[in-house]
A and B are shown apart, each in its own frame.
Chain A
Amino acid sequence: MSEPDHFAFDEASEAEVRKFLARYPDGKQASAVIPLLYVVQHQMGRSTGSAWVPRVAMDVVAARLGMPPIRVYEVATFYFMFNMKPIGRYHLQVCGTTPCWLRGSDDVLRACKDAGHLKGYGDTSPDGLFTLTEVECLGGCVNAPILAVDDDYHEDLTYETTVALIEKLRRGERPAPGSAIGRQTSAPIGGPLTLTEGAE
Chain B
Amino acid sequence: MAKLSVDGIEVEVPNGASVIQACEAAGIEIPRFCYHERLSVAGNCRMCLVEVEKAPKPVASCAYPVAEGMKVFTDTPMVRNARRGVMEFLLINHPLDCPICDQGGECDLQDQAVGYGMDRSRYAEEKRVVKDKYVGPLIKTIMTRCIQCTRCVRFAAEVAGTPELGATNRGENLEIGTYVEKALTSELSGNLIDICPVGALTSRPYAYAARPWELRKTDSIDVQDATGTATRVDTRGPEVMRILPRVNEAVNEEWMADRGRFSFDGLKRKRLDRPWVRRRGKLAPATWPEAFAAIAAKLDATAPERIGAVSGDLVDAESTLALRDLMRSYGAVNLDCRQDGAAIDATRGDYFRFNSGIAGIDEADAILLIGTDLRREAPVINARVRKRWTHGGVAIAYVGPTTDLTYPAQHLGDGPSAMQGFTEALDAAKRPMIILGRGALARADGAAVLAAAWKLAQDSGALTPEWHGFNLLHLFGGQVGALELGFVQGKTLGAMMGGEVDALWLLGADGFDPARIGAETFVIYQGHHGDRAAARADVILPGAAYTEKDATYVNTEGRAQRAFRAIHPPGEAREDWRILRAYSEGVGKTLPYDTIDAVRAALAAAAPCFGAIDMLAAPGCTDTAGPMAEVPLGEAAFIYPLTSYHLADQIARASDVMAECASIYGGAAPRLAAE
Contact surface of A with B, Cβ cutoff 8 Å = 55, 68-71, 73-74, 77-78
- Residue-by-residue, is B164-197 near A (CB-CB < 8 Å gives 1, otherwise 0)? 1111111000000011100000000000000000
Residue numbers in B under 8 Å from A69 (CB-CB): 179-180
Contact A70 B179 (CB under 8 A): yes
Is B499 part of the contact surface with A, judged by Cβ < 8 Å? Answer: no
- Binary A-proximity of B137-180 (CB < 8 A = 1, otherwise 0): 00000000000000000000100000111111110000000111
Instruction: Tell whether, in the assembled complex, residue B180 and residue A74 are in contact, meaning their CB atoms are under 8 Å apart.
Output: no
Least CB distance, B396 to chain A, in whole angstroms: 18
Q: Which interface class (under 10, 10 to 19, 20 to 34, 35 or more) fits B? A: 10 to 19
Among residues of B, the one whose C-beta sits closest to the C-beta of A79 is B170
Is the Cβ of A77 less than 8 Å from the Cβ of B164? no
Can you list 22 A-B pairs with a CB-CB distance of less than 8 A? A55-B180, A68-B157, A68-B163, A68-B164, A69-B180, A70-B163, A70-B164, A70-B166, A70-B178, A70-B179, A71-B163, A73-B168, A73-B179, A74-B166, A74-B167, A74-B168, A74-B179, A77-B169, A77-B170, A78-B168, A78-B169, A78-B170
Shortest Cβ gap from B229 to chain A (Å): 27
B residues whose Cβ falls under 8 Å from a Cβ of A? 157, 163-170, 178-180
**Contact yes or no, B165 A70, CB < 8 A:** yes
Closest partner residue, chain A, to B162 (CB atom) = A68
Bound complex: CA A78 to CA B165 (Å): 15
Q: Which residue on A lies nearest to B156, using beta carbons? A: A70
Q: What are the 7 closest A-B residue pairs judged by CB atoms, nearest first?
A: A70-B166, A68-B163, A73-B179, A77-B168, A74-B166, A77-B169, A78-B170
Q: Report the minimal beta-carbon distance from A58 to chain B, rounded to whole angstroms.
A: 9
**Docked pose: A70 CA to B166 CA in angstroms:** 6
Cβ-Cβ contact count across A and B, 8 Å cutoff: 29
CA–CA, A73 and B175, complex, Å: 12
Residues of B within 8 A of A74 (CB): 166-168, 179
Contacts of B180 in A (CB 8 A): 55, 69, 73
Most buried by A among B164, B165, B179: B179
The CA of A77 and the CA of B166, in the complex, are separated in Å by: 11
Task: Give B182 Cβ to nearest chain A Cβ, in Å.
Answer: 10
CA distance A78 to B168 in the complex (A): 6
Residues of A within 8 A of B167 (CB): 74
Closest to B173 in A: A77
| B179 closest partner in A (C-beta) | A73
Known: A70-B165, A74-B167, A77-B168. 4 other contacts (CB 8 A): A73-B166, A77-B169, A77-B170, A77-B179
The chain A residue with its CB closest to the CB of B167 is A74
**What residues of A have a CB within 8 angstroms of the CB of B157 in the complex?**
68
Q: Which of the listed residues A69, A70, A73, A78 has the most CB atoms from chain B within 10 Å of its own CB?
A: A70
Tell me, in angstroms, the Cα distance from A71 to B157 when the chains sit together. Answer: 10
Give, as a whole number of angstroms, the nearest-CB distance from B457 to chain A.
32
User: How distant is B193 from chain A, measured CB to nearest CB, in Å?
Assistant: 20
B166 and A71 form a contact (CB under 8 A): yes
* Complex interface: chain B residues within 8 A of A77 (CB): 168-170, 179
Chain A residues whose CB sits within 8 angstroms of the CB of B164 once the complex forms: 68, 70
Closest A residue, CB atoms, query B178: A70
Minimum C-beta distance from A172 to chain B (A) = 35
For B168, list chain A residues within 8 Å (CB).
73-74, 77-78
Q: How far is the CA of A55 from the CA of B167 in the complex (A)?
A: 16
Bound complex: CA A22 to CA B168 (Å): 28
Look across to chain A and name the residue whose beta carbon is closest to the beta carbon of B171.
Answer: A78
A151 to chain B, nearest CB (A): 22
A37–B641 Cα gap in the complex (Å)? 43
Q: State the Cβ distance, B405 to closest chain A Cβ, in Å.
A: 15
Residues of chain B lying within 8 A (CB to CB) of residue A70? 163-166, 178-179
